[in-house]
Amino acid sequence: MSNPNLLRFVLLALLWGSSFALIKVSLEGLSPSQLVLARLLLGAAVLGSIALIRRVPLPRTRPVWGHVALAALFGNVLPFLLLSYGEQSTGAGIAGVLIGGTPLLTLALATAALTTEPATGRKTIGLAVGFAGIVLVIAPWNSTLGSLGGQLACFGAAVSYAVGFVYVRRFLSPLGLAPLALATGQLLAAVALQVVATPFLAWRSPDPTPRVIVSILLLGVLSTGLAYVLYFRLIGDTGATTASAVNYLVPVVAVLVGAAFLDEPVTWNLVVGGLVVLLGMGHAENRLPRRRASRSAPPATAATGPATPDVTGPGGQSSQRAGSRSC
């Protein structure tokens, strides 16, 4: 990975990992529905402006917009709301670790729903290990880590993200839409859905303190808008598989930012459970380092070709699996 892409990779991990702390701070002056509407508007403004400058055409037909709207429901509106409600009663670090299990959930749903993703022994073991780690993180036996309801809401957000990713792979990726067009259309559809839903959700008089204003601006402009741009640039430069490895850093950043800026405790089960989730995810995705071949193994012949590269399919999705997410 080149130095510019490495910088983008680290910056993306910081943006997504810090989003959980920004949500926590924004909730000091906004209700969950107000927070979600604000971050969606800001994120859509960023991507819409970039799409306009680059003259990227948005989807035009009604059937495509119908799929985009459903992708926005599961990939933006529902998880954003569940995270906001969940973080009212649980920590940003815990939320980050639980959302870090999204690729694992995506793999499980893709295996169950897509014929191109058959179950294997490696996937089964990895999923079992990963879900054991999630139980450790939630720690239903320990009430000092926040309410179980809040943690389950954050886990529900991870499930919603996973449903959204599988839906995109099934119905939108085969259409070959430009990634920026898909991301912009999805955020615009999410804004429309949230505008319709907001009057029916809890509302309160906003308390826009400087701390809250800065947090929601960072959350919407950077962690929601700019993060998409960085992610799709990484996909284009390094491939979806390499870009999706950012998911391994996001939970770590979330825990560190929560501890450093919000004084959240770093408990043993949060650390151990998070590591177990990452281990299970790594095994299921076949990312763990393999043992070196035995010295007695026959050398490769001259006829042996190069390793098969990562193939990125339509819509920026890897032919193997795209572990993308948006916090």
Tell me the C-alpha distance between 212 and 225, whole Å.
Answer: 18
Residue 289: partners with Cβ closer than 8 Å, 6 or more residues away: none
Tell me the C-alpha distance between 229 and 183, whole Å.
Answer: 9
Residue 147: partners with Cβ closer than 8 Å, 6 or more residues away: 89, 90
Which pair of structure tokens corresponds to residue 216? Answer: 């929601």
Positive or negative CA dihedral for 50, 52, 56, 59?
A: positive
pTM over 0.85: no
Q: Can you give the pLDDT of all 327 residues of the chain as single tens digits? A: 678 888 988 999 999 999 999 999 999 999 999 999 999 999 999 999 999 999 999 988 999 999 999 999 999 999 999 999 999 998 898 899 888 888 888 888 887 877 777 767 777 888 788 778 788 887 666 655 567 888 899 999 999 999 998 998 889 888 888 888 989 999 999 999 999 999 898 888 889 899 999 999 999 999 999 998 888 888 778 876 677 778 888 888 998 999 899 998 888 878 888 888 888 878 877 777 766 544 444 444 333 333 333 333 333 333 334 444 556
Positive or negative CA dihedral for 215, 216, 220, 221?
A: negative
Tell me the C-alpha distance between 213 and 29, whole Å.
Answer: 9
148-167 and 102-113 helices cross at what angle (nearest 10)? 50
Which pair of structure tokens corresponds to residue 92? Answer: 């940003």
Residue 14: partners with Cβ closer than 8 Å, 6 or more residues away: 253
Over the range 20-51, which residues count as b (16 or more CB within 10 Å of their CB) and which as e? bbbbbbbbebbbbbbbbbbbbbbbbbbbbebb
- Bridge partners of residue 90, in order along the sequence: 146
DSSP state, residue 291: P
Tell me if 176 sits within 8 A of 116, measured CB to CB.
Answer: no
- The DSSP element (H or E) to which 212 belongs, if any, is helix 210-217
